[in-house]
Chains A and B, each alone.
Chain A
Amino acid sequence: MPEDLELERLQALENRVTELEAERDRLQGELDAVLNRATDRWLSAAQFESKALAAMQQTVSWRVTKPLRAVRSFQPGRLTGRRNG
């Protein structure tokens, strides 16, 4: 029967769409996982930098050399390392 054939064809197409959608979602999930991992890594690095800097600033050597840095900040023409104004 032509109608049965048509129904079968439609069913097959629907199945294919479902498969493709699932594949798309899987790939989107993989992409999201990559993006989420990258964001987590960045967050981890940003947090680590702040903690490492804070830890370094708590050391005795950092604290005893504070006056030297204060003097240095008054040196005329000292480079600040800034790139843009």
Chain B
Amino acid sequence: MPSSYDTLRPQPPSAQTTAALGRRLASAARVLIDADAVGQLSARGNGALADALARHIQRSKSDRQLWLFLVALTASFPDVDVFLEARRALGVSSPEFALSAVLESVQQSFHPLECLDYDLDIVVDVPVVDVDFCAKYNHNTGIQRVVRETLSRWNGAHELVLACWSAGDNGLRQLSTVERSRVVDWDAWKQTPESARPAEPPPGFRPRLVVPYGTIVLLPEVARDGYWSALSALARFSGNRVGMIGYDTIPIASADLIADGESEKFAKYLSIVKNADRIAAISASAAGEFRGFARAASAQGIPETEVVSVPLAVQTPARGSESAHRSAPIPRTGRPSSKLVLMVGNQEARKNNLAVLFAAESLWREGIDFRVRMIGGGKSAYTRFVDSEVKRLKSAGHGVELLRGASDDVLVDSYAEAYCTVFPSTHEGFGLPVAESLAMGVPSITTGYGSTLEIAVGGGCLTVDPRDDRQLIDALRTILTEPGVRERLAGEAEARPPRDWNDYAADLWRDLVEPLERDKR
């Protein structure tokens, strides 16, 4: 029969892969057993060294040691299943079969191991920070801005190891210089024209795995699905202290307003949260949500995760790379001289875009002259309703501008041009658009509970119940028709005590990292 396809056949491991395994095992052995014995054991071969480690861990019954051994063996952070399988296998095997018990349990995991050629660095004395998304992608909205603003300030001020996930999502690895720039030097990175940006990955880049052991692991991003089981295992078994930034629990607490599939993913993410040691939530309101979840999880006999509140900065958004070039003109409708009501943020049900359009139409019908501009994208399941309403209102002659994929410059120019902003979200972790609006001296109409109320009490806002369209109409009418109110609110916004990203980064280090350092196991 003619052969149409190349057939893959198992081959002996390459010398490179075998040598890398030997170096990884030796690195782990120097931490786990008598360092003087490592050279002798290494000389006898990888199997002999792995056997000595397996027997040692079988005697010590130490979870953290088993976790490190599995990482060194597989060049992969074990997920919960693999770890428990290996621990049970060691528990019932005789010492001479300890290694084969571990190898078999790893083999049954069906998890592709794509980093078997990697070396590893075991980090024992400084925090390791997982900045996967910010390192790999140029996207820069809410969470990414928090991470980049924070890490750019921590970098140089504190000793840290930044890491992202390796090929096959097997484990944390070093960043390339480009990836590092994207995290700690974002302002310079975004000013670099795309044509001048270096190739990725850089030629010859051979990352090493970053393996935290007995230290602190910080998760400032919301880990994407695919990482949750390995991170849960890390938090449960590795002996590292895990600290996270808690943004919100919207996909669970407001599941009725969230796209299909998002709630299930977030529920998996919460498995890291319940095993973490400390959460720094971005508002008192978000802290309440995480504390509630931690209490619920304590019914499983898990030590309750400590939750503190470290509110985000209230700062003007930065301009983007277009400053050096030309921005695309903003498509305008309505009379240019009329007052601009600005709404910034993703377009989704909980943000209440349709309520804002309804309030605007009601006031246009009363004869009040103003324009509405909405900046932000979203999923078509919701944006199609927004699009349809905007189209209808435009054809009726009303001034509505819808900007999707707008640049940072357009955002800043829009805040500067705005008469007021409106942000009647039904559920927020913080409410960055309200904070940005106030930082630019622009009054805001926002939700009178939760995190946006925490911002609003500092002045510059009218608050409403976002589920009551009448309150939204009244507030918008007041601000548009009573210049004294707008002037008073703008004055309050200007007078707010500044809280910038330097303050946030310093507070986060003090309230998240320092307590973890004190409690290191």
A19 CB–B CB distance under 8 Å = no
A38 touches B99 (CB 8 A): yes
B112 touches A53 (CB 8 A): yes
A35 touches B48 (CB 8 A): yes
B261 to chain A, nearest CB (A): 6
B74 touches A46 (CB 8 A): yes
Contacting residues, chain B, for A69 (C-beta < 8 A): none
CB < 8 Å: which of B8, B17, B48, B103 contacts A52?
B8
A48 CB–B CB distance under 8 Å = yes
Supposing A35-B51, A37-B47, A53-B112 touch, asked if A74 and B12 sit within 8 A by C-beta, the answer is no
A32 touches B113 (CB 8 A): no
1/0 per residue, CB under 8 A from B, across A12-53: the answer is 000000000000000010011111111110111111111111
1/0 per residue, CB under 8 A from B, across A45-79: the answer is 11111111111000000000000000001100000
| Secondary structure class of chain B's binding surface, majority of residues | helix
Supposing A43-B18, A44-B11, A51-B8 touch, asked if A34 and B81 sit within 8 A by C-beta, the answer is no
From A35, which residue of chain B is reached at the shortest CB distance? B47
Give the CA-CA distance A31 to B106 in the complex, in Å: 22
Give the CA-CA distance A58 to B407 in the complex, in Å: 36
B21 CB–A CB distance under 8 Å = yes
CB < 8 Å: which of A28, A33, A39 contacts B21?
A39
A2 CB–B CB distance under 8 Å = no
1/0 per residue, CB under 8 A from A, across B110-145: the answer is 101110100000000000000000000000000000
A63 to chain B, nearest CB (A): 15
Give the CA-CA distance A82 to B233 in the complex, in Å: 14
B160 CB–A CB distance under 8 Å = no
Give the CA-CA distance A53 to B322 in the complex, in Å: 43
Give the CA-CA distance A42 to B80 in the complex, in Å: 21
Contacting residues, chain B, for A38 (C-beta < 8 A): 47, 99-100, 103
From B48, which residue of chain A is reached at the shortest CB distance? A32
Give the CA-CA distance A50 to B14 in the complex, in Å: 14
Give the CA-CA distance A32 to B40 in the complex, in Å: 12
A68 to chain B, nearest CB (A): 16
A34 touches B74 (CB 8 A): no
CB < 8 Å: which of A35, A45, A55, A82 contacts B10?
A45
Give the CA-CA distance A35 to B100 in the complex, in Å: 9
A43 touches B51 (CB 8 A): no
Contacting residues, chain A, for B10 (C-beta < 8 A): 44-45, 48
Give the CA-CA distance A85 to B12 in the complex, in Å: 35
CB < 8 Å: which of B9, B81, B100 contacts A82?
B81
Contacting residues, chain B, for A31 (C-beta < 8 A): 48
B50 CB–A CB distance under 8 Å = yes
Contacting residues, chain B, for A37 (C-beta < 8 A): 47
Give the CA-CA distance A50 to B112 in the complex, in Å: 5
- Looking at A28, A43, A73, which has the most chain B CB atoms within 10 Å of its CB? A43
Supposing A43-B21, A84-B81, A85-B80 touch, asked if A48 and B260 sit within 8 A by C-beta, the answer is no
Contacting residues, chain B, for A46 (C-beta < 8 A): 74, 106-107, 113, 116
B18 touches A40 (CB 8 A): yes
Give the CA-CA distance A34 to B46 in the complex, in Å: 11
Supposing A40-B12, A43-B18 touch, asked if A49 and B47 sit within 8 A by C-beta, the answer is no
Supposing A35-B47, A48-B8 touch, asked if A40 and B13 sit within 8 A by C-beta, the answer is yes
B84 CB–A CB distance under 8 Å = yes
A55 to chain B, nearest CB (A): 6
A15 to chain B, nearest CB (A): 26
Give the CA-CA distance A42 to B47 in the complex, in Å: 10
From B116, which residue of chain A is reached at the shortest CB distance? A47
Contacting residues, chain A, for B44 (C-beta < 8 A): 28, 32, 36
B50 to chain A, nearest CB (A): 6
From B260, which residue of chain A is reached at the shortest CB distance? A74
1/0 per residue, CB under 8 A from A, across B468-494: the answer is 000000000000000000000000000
Contacting residues, chain A, for B271 (C-beta < 8 A): 85
1/0 per residue, CB under 8 A from A, across B350-363: the answer is 00000000000000
B45 CB–A CB distance under 8 Å = yes
Give the CA-CA distance A32 to B107 in the complex, in Å: 21
Contacting residues, chain A, for B18 (C-beta < 8 A): 40, 43
Which residues of B approach A to under 8 Å, CB–CB?
6, 8-13, 17-18, 21, 44-48, 50-51, 74, 80-81, 84, 99-100, 103, 106-107, 110, 112-114, 116, 168, 260-261, 271
Pick 21 A–B contacts, CB within 8 A, sort by A: A32-B44, A34-B47, A35-B51, A35-B99, A38-B99, A38-B103, A39-B50, A39-B99, A40-B18, A43-B17, A43-B21, A43-B116, A44-B13, A46-B113, A46-B116, A47-B113, A47-B116, A50-B114, A55-B8, A82-B81, A85-B80
Which residues of A approach B to under 8 Å, CB–CB?
28, 31-40, 42-55, 73-74, 82-85
Given contacts A43-B17, A44-B13, 8 further A-B contacts (CB under 8 A): A35-B51, A36-B44, A38-B99, A48-B8, A48-B11, A49-B110, A84-B84, A85-B271
Closest 8 CB pairs of A and B: A35-B47, A36-B47, A36-B45, A39-B47, A43-B13, A48-B10, A50-B112, A32-B48
